[in-house]
Amino acid sequence: MIASMPNCWLCAECLPDDGMYFIVSPKDIVTARQRDEDDHITWLLEHEMFVVSCTITLLQLTVYDAVTEVLPLVLC
């Protein structure tokens, strides 16, 4: 599609440390970043997928609790 448009150009850059991506064209600048778990939960809630969002949240809490119990033992 872009190849058929002679005056169109596209540039993509990224800031790896910040996880930011920039896509630049003559008319638009789009910034993007990789989604995280909070973004996913927000999307699920916006789409009224309450059971799935609660399940994922509870799984995250279980993993967090397991890590916080083990981490002090590993650091000693």
The confidence score (pLDDT) of residue 16 equals 80
The confidence score (pLDDT) of residue 73 equals 63
Q: Are residues 49 and 66 in the same domain?
A: yes
More confident residue, 13 or 21: 21
Q: Are residues 27 and 41 in the same domain?
A: no
pTM: 0.55
Q: Are residues 66 and 42 in the same domain?
A: yes
Which residues constitute the domain of residue 29? 2-33
pLDDT tens, position by position, 22-72:
888 888 888 888 888 889 999 999 999 999 999 999 998 888 777 777 666
Structural domain count of the chain: 2
Q: By the 8 A CB rule, do 63 and 71 touch?
A: no
The confidence score (pLDDT) of residue 1 equals 47
What is d(CA 55, CA 58) in angstroms, rounded to the nearest whole number?
5
